[in-house]
Amino acid sequence: MTRSETHDAVEAVWRIESPRLIASLTRIVRDIGLAEDLAHDALVAALEQWPADGLPRNPGAWLMAAAKHRAIDAFRRTKRLERKHAALLYELDAQRDATPDLAAALDDRVGDDLLRLMFTACHPVLPTGARVALTLRLLGGLSTAEIARAFLVPEATMAQRLVRAKRTLAQKRVPFEVPGGADLQPRLASVLEAIYLIFNEGYAATAGDDWLRPSLCDDALRLGRILAELTPGEADVHGLVALMEIQASRLRARVGPSGEPVRLRDQDRARWDQLLIRRGLTALARAERLSRTRGPYTLQAAIAACHARATTTDATDWVRIAALYGELARTAPSPVVELNRAVAVGLADGPQAGLAVVDAIAADPALQSYHLLPAVRGDLLERLGRRDEARAAFERAAALTRNTRERDLLLKRAASCTFTRDP
C-alpha cells in the first residue's frame, strides 16, 4: 500500500472511528475539548506510523490505545487528576498487549458513550446552530473546513464557533450523561432537531451553488440509525429515521445532468432507491407501533410514505397528505407547516383552497424573508390563471433565495409560470 493509499485509509478509518473514540475518551477525561484533542493526537500518530508499519489489525483499538497514552502523558505533565491518572494507567497496562480484548471492552460501553456524546453535543445550553456544528464535528467526523463549507462561513469563523461551544459546555459543567426522568424528552428533542437540520441542509441546501449536499444526508442518516439502535423504544427517533430514509431515496432523481433541481412531479420514480424506501417504511411501522400518538417526525415520515407509495404525482393521495399536515400543524404548529399544508390542500381541494391557507399566514413575521412563501403563492396563482401575479411572486421568491440553483429554477418558473413546489 502506497503512502497516499495509507493516508486515504487513515482518513476513512477516522471518519468511522472518531465518534466512538471521542465518546469513550470523554467518558474518561470528562472534557469534550480535551477528548477531541487526544483523539486528534492519536490521528497524527497514525498518519506518522501506519504508512511505515502498515494498517493495524484493529485500527479503532490502536487509535484508542494511542489516545490513552497521550492522556496519561498529559496527566503526568500537569500533575493533576491523580485518581484518574492511576485508573488510566491500570486500564492501559491491563490492555497494552491485548488489542482484541481492548476492542471488546470498548464495544461494551461504546453505545452508552455515543449516546452520552450526542446528548452533550446537543445540550440546550448551546444555540441550535452550534449544536448542529458540534454534532457534525464530534459525531459526523467532519473537519472544521467541511463544516464551514456546509454553513458557508470562513473556516476561521467556524473554528471559533466550535471553540466557544466546547468552552460553554465546560463552563456550564454540562454532565456527560443521558438525562433521566422529565429531562429526557426535551433533551432528546434537541438531539433529533440537530440531526433533522443536518439532513435538511443536505436535502435542499439553503445557499451556495449546489442544490444537494448528499454527504450531509449520509451523516444525518448514520447518526439517526445509531440513535435508533441506542434508543429502541423511542417512537419519534424511528420516525425521524423513517423520514430520512424515504426522503434520501429520492436524492438521485432530485437533480438533473447539470445539477439543476428536478421537481417532484418531473422526477423519474424509477430512480428512487427502493431499498431506502423499504427501510423507511419499516422504521415508520415501528414508530407507529411504539406510540399511538404520532410525533412530528413520524407524521412527516407518514407524509413522505404517501409519496413513496404513489406511482405518479396524480396517483398521490393528496387528501391524506393534507390531513396529515393538519395533524402535524396541531402537534407542532408553525407557519412553515401551514405553508406545506397549503400546497397539499391546493392539490387536494384546488388552488383557490390552497391560496386561502397561504393568505391566512402571509403576514406572519417568520415568513417575510422565506422564499418559499412567494414560490408557493406563485404556483397557486398560476394554476388559477393569474399569470402576472404569479410571475411577480416567482421573481420575489428568486430574489429571496440564497441558493443559485434554486434561483435559476424560480426565474425560469417566473418566465413560464408553471412552478409547483415539492411538498
DSSP 208: E
Question: Is 316 within 8 Å of 303 (Cβ atoms)?
Answer: no
User: H or E segment at 155?
Assistant: helix 155-171
| This prediction's pTM | 0.78
> pLDDT (tens digit, 9 = 90+) per residue, 75-105?
766 655 555 555 555 555 554 443 334 333 3
The tens digit of pLDDT for each residue in 258-295 reads: 889 999 999 999 999 999 999 999 999 999 999 989 99
Q: What is the pLDDT of residue 187?
A: 83
Q: What is the mean pLDDT of the chain?
A: 86
In the numeric block, the cell 467541511 is attached to 146
Name the DSSP class of 261: B
User: Side-chain half-sphere of 175: how many Cα atoms within 13 Å?
Assistant: 6
What sign does the CA torsion over 31, 32, 34, 35 have? positive
What pLDDT was estimated at residue 234?
93
pLDDT of residue 276: 97
As a whole-number percent, the residues of the chain with pLDDT over 70 amount to 89
CA-CA distance, 16 to 395, in Å (whole number)? 44
For the chain, the distance separating the N- and C-terminal CA atoms, rounded to the nearest angstrom, is: 49
Q: What confidence tens digit (pLDDT) does each residue in 139-166 have?
A: 877 788 878 877 768 889 999 999 999 9
Closest CA to 241 of 189, 195, 201: 195
Residue range 379-421, pLDDT digits in tens: 999 999 999 999 999 999 999 998 899 999 999 999 998 544 4
Helix (H/G/I), strand (E/B), else coil: 49 = helix
> Quick one: pLDDT band at residue 319, thresholds 50, 70, 90?
very high
Residues 6 or more apart in contact with residue 293 via CB below 8 angstroms: none
Would you say residue 29 has pLDDT above 70? yes
Facing residues of 261 across strands? 255
pLDDT top residue among 213 and 309: 309
Other beta carbons within 10 angstroms of residue 52's beta carbon come to 8
**Phi, psi values for residue 255, rounded to 5°:** -130, 150
pLDDT by residue (tens digit) across 356-371? 999 999 999 989 999 9
Q: How far is CA 314 from CA 104, 220, 264, 347, 381, in A?
A: 53, 31, 11, 9, 20
